[in-house]
């Protein structure tokens, strides 16, 4: 049983009710492969989650873009994993580089979040990735391994985890890791999982790529053996997201 291709759309902090209606219409009308070929998850801002979930075609799922690190309570402005479960939201994105850099979320904090979200029954898209300085200094794998280690130390079961490799220098910049660069890190990450978690987890865990993925570059990236899908930012708000979903056929061909 191979790893099912996974395409996530991270809408980030974008959208009005009208824009959301338009995006959902595009998604609902798009011709895409069947759910046994590709798993599709879209992640609107919290405030739009219920409306998107209610209007979206049933085979597409929704994800929150973040959640709190423990049970809810006196944490103004936060949303707990329990609330997401209560709303029937199955997925959450954790450790996105924008939250790591802008909000100072440490590897340990992200690891705690992943563990708590899983414990409440959520599935997690866990993000890792290096900055331009880190890549240029040759420490990409050290950085990514440290981020993965903070998660691996806190969880036992990886069944409901998708790892998203997002080189920070490629997010929203138009710079894309070449297919060779992406494959290299994905392969190293898989080897790290084999050595530090288990061969089984390494083989079954999906490692997806994020960082200026477009309709134009997705097929070449999808053809790489260790690239199991995408976490798409800006392009997930546009019709080309359908093209990116369709790149799953590269794997099943």
Beta bridge partners of 72: none
Tell me, letter by letter, the H, E, C secondary structure of 109-176. HHHHHHHHHHHCCCEEEEEECCCHHHHHCCCHHHHHHHHHHHHHCCCCCCCCEEEEECCHHHCCCCCC
Active site residue 39: no
Distances (CA, A) of 11 to 80, 93, 129: 20, 11, 19
Euclidean distance between CA atoms 194 and 164, whole angstroms: 17
**Alpha-carbon dihedral angle through residues 15, 17, 18, 24, given to the nearest 10 degrees:** 80
- The 8-class DSSP code of residue 104 comes to -
Beta bridge partners of 209: 165, 230
| Chain centre distance of CA 206 | 10
Please tell me which residue in 39, 96, 105, 240 is annotated as part of the active site.
96
Active site residue 166: yes
Contact 224, 10 (CB under 8 A): no
Please tell me which residue in 98, 166, 186, 240 is annotated as part of the active site.
166
Euclidean distance between CA atoms 135 and 140, whole angstroms: 5
* Residues carrying an active site annotation: 96, 166
């Amino acid at each position: 049983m191979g790893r099912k291709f996974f395409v996530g759309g991270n809408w980030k902090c974008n959208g009005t009710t009208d824009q959301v209606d338009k995006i959902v219409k595009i998604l609902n009308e798009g011709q895409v492969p069947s759910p046994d070929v590709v798993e599709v998850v879209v992640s609107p801002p919290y405030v739009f989650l219920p409306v998107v979930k209610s209007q979206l075609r049933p085979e597409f799922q929704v994800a929150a873009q973040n959640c709190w690190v423990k049970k809810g309570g006196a944490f103004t402005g936060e949303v707990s994993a329990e609330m997401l479960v209560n709303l029937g939201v199955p997925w959450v994105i954790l450790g996105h580089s924008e939250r790591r850099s802008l909000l100072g979320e440490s590897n340990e904090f992200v690891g705690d979040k992943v563990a708590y979200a899983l414990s409440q029954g959520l599935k997690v898209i866990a993000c890792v990735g290096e900055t331009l300085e880190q890549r240029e200094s040759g420490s990409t794998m050290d950085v990514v391994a440290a981020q993965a280690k903070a998660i691996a130390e806190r969880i036992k079961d990886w069944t409901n985890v998708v790892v998203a490799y997002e080189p920070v220098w490629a997010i929203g910049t138009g710079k894309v890791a070449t297919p060779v660069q992406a494959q290299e890190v994905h392969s190293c990450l898989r080897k790290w999982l084999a050595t530090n978690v288990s061969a089984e987890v390494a083989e079954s865990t999906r490692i997806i790529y994020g960082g200026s993925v477009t309709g134009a570059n997705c097929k070449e990236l999808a053809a790489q053996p260790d690239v199991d899908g995408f976490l798409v930012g800006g392009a997930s708000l546009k019709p080309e997201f359908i093209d990116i979903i369709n790149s799953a056929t590269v794997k099943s061909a």
